[in-house]
Amino acid sequence: MNAALMILEIAVLVLGIALLLLDLWTPPARKRLLGYGAAVALVVVLAYSFKLTGETGFAFGQAYAFDGLALFFKRFFLLAAILVLVMAAEFSDRIASGISEFYSLILFALAGMMFAASANSFPMLFVSLELITVTFYVLTSFQRNRLASLEAGVKYLILGALSSAFLVYGIALVYGASGTMDFAELAGKSAALKDQPLFLLGLLLVLAGLGFKIAAFPFQIWAPDVYQGSPAPATAFLAVGSKAAGFVLLLRLFNTVGLDVTWHWEKLLMVMAAVTILYGNLCAIPQRNLKRLLGYSSIAHAGYLLLGVAAMSPAGSTAVLYYLAGYLFTVLAAFSVLAIIIRKTDIEDVSGLAGLNQRSPLLAATLTLAMVSLAGVPPLAGFFGKFLLLKSVVEQGGSYYAYYWLAAVALAGVVISFWYYFGVIRAIYWSKDPADLSPIEVSLPARICLYACIAGMLFLGLFPNRLVENARAAVLPPPPAKIAEKTAVAVASPASIK
């Protein structure tokens, strides 16, 4: 057994339990400081993770995999949790019940995400996803004196339970068809299984279960309500962490186990990606509530990320990883600003941004940069991420012409999205007669986080090479035989379609 590979997860879990205990001896006035402490501890864990670069291995049979992909996502989740913890500490006086429990729940969700990054068998996949989801049931309904927060919690609970039911049913069918739940063993059998209807249905239901987590069409219906109702730090972690956990499982499952199947599912994934992009962007246009707007925008981004999955090439997977990294800084910047504004004014409407430029130039600049990056304007991270995703899709266009249509739909989605992202920027700088011009102070830790997010957005946009190289090394290369088969299928398919 190789349990030492799990050192990062163990550290996070111990930290979470320690926070629960520390809560007992901390006077109420100082409890919010625990969040900063936890963030610093996570920075140490993140720094330690760089010592593990290049290590690979399995633990618990093949159930737990430690490889480049897992390590990339573990660092991703750690970074997200650090920023969310600081955001939560800023937001603490709006969270009525137990702020230190809020911190430790964030850490437990983080542990679940890190386990998901390494999940290499269906029991691990299911348990880590459940750990994430159950924690988020609590986090979304944390402001239980607000009706909206409770509503978000109940909606997430019901739809989350439904998606878990799909997932379990799918896993049961896969097990019934193959007799194993281990990804490595399934990958060996996948050539024989690819025409078995039970196995295909099982994999389809697993896709549905994961689709709920990443909020892709047609499983996106919960996202806007839950995003709007939850406390801002919980929403931010849901938007970044939960979505990324869904994508790492999707990448690992569909690029290793279901390889022979997914080659033939390109149409399904393409339709999902295209409809998700259009749905998210079109529905975001009339929104006035900022969190709801970001909820629809996150649906659209799930669509963009699915482009990379639908491209079914290492370039596509690389683009997904890069895009997620840029998305992390962008979304956390936007939600940090929102959390600070909501804490001060309790207004979630776009009109609440009026005069933000005079009230706090830093917040205004950060939110503007975040919106510009989400929209995908150079030189920010969002632009280069979209460029890589579209490039990976267009590259596949030679083999199957529908990829060109997919790229066109994605471009149309980007153009539509300019409308509402720039509506937010207009509200910041060009609102008429703002009612309240009192300055908003930003505390030092929050300022550090905002600067870190801005630096991340600019750095990834201007110097993408390093991360792209890292991501390329992290994605699992498909075996060469599959690529040859894929090109053979691709050459044959245009003729057969016509």
Quick one: which segment of 121-129, 222-230, 285-293, 405-413 binds other proteins (CB under 8 A)? 121-129
Q: Which of 112, 241, 246, 445 binds other proteins (CB under 8 A)?
A: 112
Tokens of 460: 């990834």
CB neighbours (10 Å) of residue 158? 11
Pair 274, 410: CB distance under 8 Å: yes
Question: For 2, which DSSP code?
Answer: -
Nearer to other proteins, 154 or 458 (CB): 154
Gyration radius (Cα) of the chain, Å: 22
Does 322 interact with other proteins (rule: CB under 8 A)?
no
- Least separation in angstroms between residue 126's CB and other proteins is 8
Residue 237, C-beta contacts closer than 8 angstroms, at least 6 positions apart: 80, 81, 84, 106, 109, 136, 139
Nearer to other proteins, 346 or 433 (CB): 346
Quick one: which segment of 172-180, 400-408, 413-421, 427-435 binds other proteins (CB under 8 A)? 172-180
The Cα–Cα gap between 321 and 314 comes to 11
Q: For residue 376, what are the CA distances in angstroms to 310, 414, 415, 418, 472?
A: 20, 7, 9, 9, 22
Residues 7-26: x/- map of binding to other proteins (CB under 8 A)? ------x---x--x------
Does 64 interact with other proteins (rule: CB under 8 A)?
yes
The Cα–Cα gap between 483 and 489 comes to 10
Pair 262, 255: CB distance under 8 Å: yes
Nearer to other proteins, 116 or 428 (CB): 116
Q: Got the DSSP string for 412-431?
A: HHHHHHHHHHHHHHHHHHS-
Which bin fits 376, alpha (ψ -120 to 50), beta or left (φ > 0)?
A: left
- Least separation in angstroms between residue 1's CB and other proteins is 4
- Least separation in angstroms between residue 198's CB and other proteins is 5
Residues 127-156: x/- map of binding to other proteins (CB under 8 A)? xx-xx--xx-xx--xx-xx-------x---
Q: Which of 27, 54, 197, 480 binds other proteins (CB under 8 A)?
A: 197
Tokens of 65: 């995999």
Does 200 interact with other proteins (rule: CB under 8 A)?
yes
Does 271 interact with other proteins (rule: CB under 8 A)?
no
Quick one: which segment of 46-54, 197-205, 348-356, 370-378 binds other proteins (CB under 8 A)? 197-205
Tokens of 53: 């670069």
Count of residues of this chain found to bind other proteins when the rule CB under 8 A is applied: 49
If residue 234 lies in a helix (H) or strand (E), which one and from where to where?
helix 232-237
Does 474 interact with other proteins (rule: CB under 8 A)?
no
Site residues (CB under 8 A) for other proteins?
1, 6, 13, 17, 20, 28, 59-64, 96-98, 101, 104-105, 108, 111-112, 115, 121, 123-124, 126-128, 130-131, 134-135, 137-138, 141-142, 144-145, 153, 176-177, 179, 181-182, 196-198, 200-201
